[in-house]
């Protein structure tokens, strides 16, 4: 994985680099699929638009290598990046699709997987925009019902709680949280902040503008601001004039590496538990 520093090719180690012969063999073995989901959207003045795509792709690779150690071979679908952006839509570069587009494209991709013989898909989503979250949920639920595919969203307990998800929804596989437990901090860490800056700095340092990063200040925004920000438009832009929400100044490449590795472990654990029939939602 460390060799990934420098240039990253989002097709490497995904299905897109395999032949049809390898795909058919994996389908015959009912290999589970990891499906990375991100969007192309603004990520502050110091990070490129593709942060969420790289995030979900790199997470999927970590999970794949952790599962391989447990004797579970998975494939990674080509990363999906035409999602919905509401909060950041007023910024240049935030491509935003309609809900039905997201549901249709993800649904068609799952129908293709099912047709070839795959029956388990685990979504690794790196984008928590409210509209996008709804679209992804609907896409997964619709595919389960209409295509009969075992589609699941691998999600951190912290986000499942913040999004108001019911823990026992059949399409959710909730893993223990990597966010600090205890009382939530007053100032929130949401977008293009410490976490995203850190992993980009470790894995794709040539895409982080450190000259600009040095000049940034923490936004010191609260839950009240997040609720307004989530609705998008010019009000959202006023709250985050530079496009980031949180504190990028505390980022470091070392944090990026350790957080990514820790994520790979907890997400692989929950998938292993599920595949081996011993998953139960948190109480
Ligand atoms: Zn992001």
Question: pLDDT by residue (tens digit) across 189-206?
Answer: 999 999 999 999 999 999
CA of 51 to the centre of ligand 1 (A): 6
Four-point Cα dihedral 87, 89, 94, 100, nearest 10: 90
CA of 49 to the centre of ligand 1 (A): 8
CA of 244 to the centre of ligand 1 (A): 9
Nearest to 53 by CA among 199, 253, 246, 163: 199
CA of 182 to the centre of ligand 1 (A): 24
CA of 192 to the centre of ligand 1 (A): 6
CA of 42 to the centre of ligand 1 (A): 8
How many angstroms separate the CA atoms of 1 and 261, rounded?
10
Give per-residue pLDDT as tens, 106-138: 999 999 999 999 999 999 999 999 999 999 999
Q: Mean pLDDT over all residues of the chain?
A: 95
Question: Does the reported pTM lie above 0.85?
Answer: yes
CB atoms within 5 A of ion ligand 1 belong to: 51-52
CA of 276 to the centre of ligand 1 (A): 32
CA of 27 to the centre of ligand 1 (A): 32
Mean local confidence (pLDDT), 2-14: 77
CA of 181 to the centre of ligand 1 (A): 22
Nearest to 169 by CA among 149, 151, 189, 185: 151
**How many CB atoms within 10 Å of residue 217?**
9
CA of 212 to the centre of ligand 1 (A): 18
Four-point Cα dihedral 102, 107, 113, 117, nearest 10: 160
Give per-residue pLDDT as tens, 143-181: 999 999 999 999 999 999 989 999 999 999 999 988 866
Burial class (CB in 10 A: 0-12, 13-18, 19+), 51: buried
């Amino acid at each position: 994985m460390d060799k990934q520093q420098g240039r990253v090719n989002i097709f490497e180690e995904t299905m897109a680099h395999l032949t049809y012969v390898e795909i058919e063999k994996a389908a015959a073995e009912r290999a589970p699929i990891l499906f990375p989901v991100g969007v192309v959207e603004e990520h502050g003045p110091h990070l490129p638009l593709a942060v969420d795509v790289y995030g979900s792709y790199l997470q999927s690779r970590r999970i794949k290598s952790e599962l391989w150690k447990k004797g579970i071979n998975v494939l990674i679908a080509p990363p999906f990046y035409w999602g919905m952006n509401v909060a950041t839509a007023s910024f240049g570069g935030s491509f935003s699709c309609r809900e039905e587009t997201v549901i249709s494209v993800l649904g068609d991709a799952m129908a293709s997987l099912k047709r070839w013989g795959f029956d388990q898909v685990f979504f690794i989503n790196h984008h928590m925009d409210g509209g996008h979250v709804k679209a992804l949920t609907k896409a997964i639920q619709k595919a389960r019902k209409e295509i009969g595919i075992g589609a699941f969203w691998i999600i951190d307990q912290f986000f499942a709680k913040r999004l108001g998800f019911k823990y026992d929804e059949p399409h959710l596989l909730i893993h223990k949280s990597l966010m600090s437990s205890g009382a939530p901090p007053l100032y929130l860490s949401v977008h293009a902040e410490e976490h995203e800056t850190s992993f980009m700095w470790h894995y794709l340092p040539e895409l982080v503008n450190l000259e600009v990063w040095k000049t940034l200040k923490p936004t010191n925004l609260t839950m009240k601001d997040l609720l307004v920000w989530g609705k998008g438009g010019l009000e959202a832009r006023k709250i985050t004039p530079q496009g980031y929400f949180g504190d990028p100044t505390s980022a470091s490449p070392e944090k990026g590496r350790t957080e990514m590795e820790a994520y790979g472990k907890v997400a692989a654990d929950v998938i292993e538990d599920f595949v081996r029939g011993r998953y139960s939602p948190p109480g």
